[in-house]
Amino acid sequence: MALVAAEKSIVVYGDSLSAAYGIAQARGWVALLASRVAREYPDYRVANASVSGETTSGGLARLAKTLEQHKPAVVILELGANDGLRGLPVAELKKNLGAMIERAHAAGARVLLVGMKLPPNYGPDYTRSFEDAYAELAKRYRTALLPFLLEGFAEKREFFQPDRIHPTEAAQPLIEARVWQALEPLLK
């Protein structure tokens, strides 16, 4: 009788940037990542628990159910952009993300924290504090960190939908490649 390895779950827990806003789900970076994981680490599966418009407080409120449902080995935590765009206090962002990391760790999951940057119109103090929050949290909780999801193309308009916030289909492979670099060490 052959033994089959149990599937391990990777949960992508994010906002519209992970929910493939404005493009077909099958063409979003999470679907691309799921295909790569299936090829290279077939004992893992990827679940996308991202919700467009999600803030860190909303994410925190629904995390327990997601952890129970998927029992992830890895959580890719991509939240905070909507907090920043709404100008919510950085202390609240840090408190909520920290609580999510703690809960994921308590559930036995490793965490990849995905950082975000804001447009400069929020002022230098707020934008610096916002960006620094991710590195501070990753250090405090000893999690993996992808400093900026849109690194390498954020300044290129052709990679964004007309709202200039959401990446186009052409940008999705670039995002997937960045996430993969940070995720793969957690799968070995």
User: Residue 47: which domain range?
Assistant: 8-187
**Tokens matching residue 188:** 């070995």
Q: Helices (H), strands (E): how many in the chain?
A: 6, 5
Q: Which of 9, 16, 18, 129 is catalytic?
A: 16
Q: Tell how far CA 142 is from the center of its chain.
A: 16
Q: What is the pLDDT of residue 6?
A: 54
Could you confirm whether 43 is annotated as catalytic?
no
State the Cα–Cα distance between residues 31 and 175, nearest whole angstrom: 11
Q: Which of 52, 57, 105, 166 is catalytic?
A: 166
**Is residue 2 classed exposed, middle or buried when 0-12, 13-18 and 19+ CB atoms within 10 A define those classes?**
exposed
The reply to whether 1 falls in a domain is: no
Could you confirm whether 35 is annotated as catalytic?
no
Q: What is the pLDDT of residue 3?
A: 45
State the Cα–Cα distance between residues 49 and 128, nearest whole angstrom: 28
Q: What is the pLDDT of residue 106?
A: 98
pTM value is 0.95
The reply to whether 71 falls in a domain is: yes
- The number of domains in the chain is 1
Phi and psi angles of residue 9, each rounded to the nearest 5 degrees, phi first: -105, 135
Q: What is the pLDDT of residue 59?
A: 98
Q: What is the pLDDT of residue 5?
A: 47
For 40-72, write each residue's pLDDT tens digit: 999 999 999 999 999 999 999 999 999 999 999
Q: Across-strand partners of 144?
A: 112
The reply to whether 118 falls in a domain is: yes
The reply to whether 3 falls in a domain is: no
State the Cα–Cα distance between residues 148 and 164, nearest whole angstrom: 16
Instruction: Return the CATH number at 48.
Output: 3.40.50.1110
The reply to whether 2 falls in a domain is: no
Low-confidence ranges of the chain (pLDDT < 50): 1-5
Could you confirm whether 163 is annotated as catalytic?
yes
